[in-house]
């Protein structure tokens, strides 16, 4: 039996009374809606009543935002057992994420402790009349840790008379696969900076690991 729905000032008849799935509900709504506004309301009601979608094999899947994926449920409208199963999956994912974060934190610490910076500097790559117009960064590092490093963060500041012991003004995250025991040298162009002194400071830390 049809029921009334009142939304945004419209009163329409819900066509989902005899439907058993979102798909059949949407089909009924398309046939019975008297206007686009009414159809929009009915389709929203279909999704509310039957949040799970039917698969070609007759089973149902529900997209769970907290999990970022679909899970199989017993029917188009999940029952209490389905809801309890979803709660357990969300809880387990939260536990797994905490474990993963702790594991990554430990690997990051190991990588940083074995991160040997041999060279980290700013150099002028284009000068005219003693003024520098283009800069590049260059670094050489050795990975003395048992962890593969995948990214490094190159911090830098440009200007004369800088205190190079402090935090640098600019920075760039760089893809730099460095296997345990490997030494790597890389250079890169630095975006335009108005300072023409040709001098600067640089620092390097581990940004990510595998």
Residue 122: which CATH number?
2.60.40
Give per-residue pLDDT as tens, 99-151.
999 999 999 999 999 999 999 998 888 888 888 888 899 999 999 999 999 99
Q: What order of strands is seen across the sheet that includes strand 149-158?
A: 170-178, 149-158, 200-209
Domain boundary among the residues 41, 74, 106 is at 106
Q: Give the integer Cα–Cα distance in Å for 134 and 125.
A: 5
* Per-residue model confidence (pLDDT) at position 97: 94
pTM: 0.59
Mean pLDDT of 54-76: 92
Whole-number pLDDT of residue 167: 60
Provide the pLDDT for residue 166: 67
Query: What pLDDT, on a 0 to 100 scale, did the predictor assign at position 7?
Result: 39
DSSP label at 145? S
CA distance 118 to 2: 76
For Cα atoms 64, 67, 70, give the angle at the middle one, nearest 5 degrees.
50
Residue 142 DSSP SS3: strand
* 158 and 203 inside one domain: yes
Instruction: Output the CA–CA distances (angstroms, integers) from residue 100 to 64, 116, 137, in the order listed.
Output: 21, 26, 33
Residues 93 and 135 in one domain: no
pLDDT in tens, 158-179: 887 777 776 667 888 999 999 9
Q: Are residues 128 and 188 in the same domain?
A: yes
**Same domain assignment for residues 118 and 205:** yes
Model pLDDT, residue 123 = 87
Report, as an integer, the average pLDDT of 74-84: 92
The vertex-121 CA angle with 117 and 124, nearest 5°, equals 160
How many structural domains is the chain composed of?
A: 3
pLDDT at 59 over 60: yes
Q: What order of strands is seen across the sheet that includes strand 60-64?
A: 53-54, 60-64, 69-73
Which long-range CB contacts under 8 A does 86-92 form with residues at least 24 apart? 86/62, 89/64, 90/64, 90/66
170 shares a domain with 125: yes
Instruction: With cut-offs at 50, 70 and 90, classify the pLDDT of residue 153.
Output: very high
The last residue of a domain, from among 65, 80, 106: 106
84 & 156 share domain: no
- State whether 5 and 20 are in the same domain: yes
Q: 202 and 118 share a domain?
A: yes
Residues 42 and 67 in one domain: no
Same domain, 20 and 65: no
Q: What does the pLDDT read at residue 2?
A: 41
- Same domain, yes or no: 2 and 82: no
The whole-number average pLDDT for the span 69-78 is 92
What is the pLDDT at residue 127? 83
pLDDT at position 16? 52
**Residue 207 in this model has a pLDDT that exceeds 90:** yes
Mean local confidence (pLDDT), 60-86: 93
Range of the domain at 18: 1-50
Q: Are 198 and 156 contained in the same domain?
A: yes
Distance of alpha carbon 14 from alpha carbon 127, whole angstroms: 75
Structure tokens at 18: 């005899």
């Amino acid at each position: 039996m049809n029921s009334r729905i009142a939304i945004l000032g419209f009163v329409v008849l819900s066509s989902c009374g005899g439907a058993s799935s979102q798909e059949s509900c949407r089909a009924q709504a398309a046939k019975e809606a008297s206007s686009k506004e009414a159809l929009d309301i009915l389709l929203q009601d279909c999704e509310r009543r039957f949040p799970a979608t039917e698969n070609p094999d007759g089973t149902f899947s529900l997209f769970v935002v907290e999990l970022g994926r679909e899970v199989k449920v017993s029917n188009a409208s999940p029952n209490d057992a389905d809801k309890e199963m979803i709660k357990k999956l969300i809880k387990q994912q939260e536990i797994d994420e905490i474990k993963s974060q702790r594991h990554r934190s430990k690997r990051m610490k190991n990588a940083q402790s074995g991160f040997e910076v041999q060279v980290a500097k700013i150099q002028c790559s284009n000068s005219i009349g003693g003024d520098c117009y283009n800069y590049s960064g260059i670094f050489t590092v050795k990975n003395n840790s048992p962890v593969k490093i995948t990214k490094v963060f190159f911090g830098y500041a440009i200007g004369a008379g800088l205190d190079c012991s402090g935090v640098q003004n600019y920075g760039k995250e760089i893809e730099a696969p460095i296997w345990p025991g490997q030494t790597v040298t890389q250079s890169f162009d630095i975006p335009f900076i108005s300072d023409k002194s040709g001098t600067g400071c640089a620092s390097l830390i581990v940004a990510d690991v595998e």
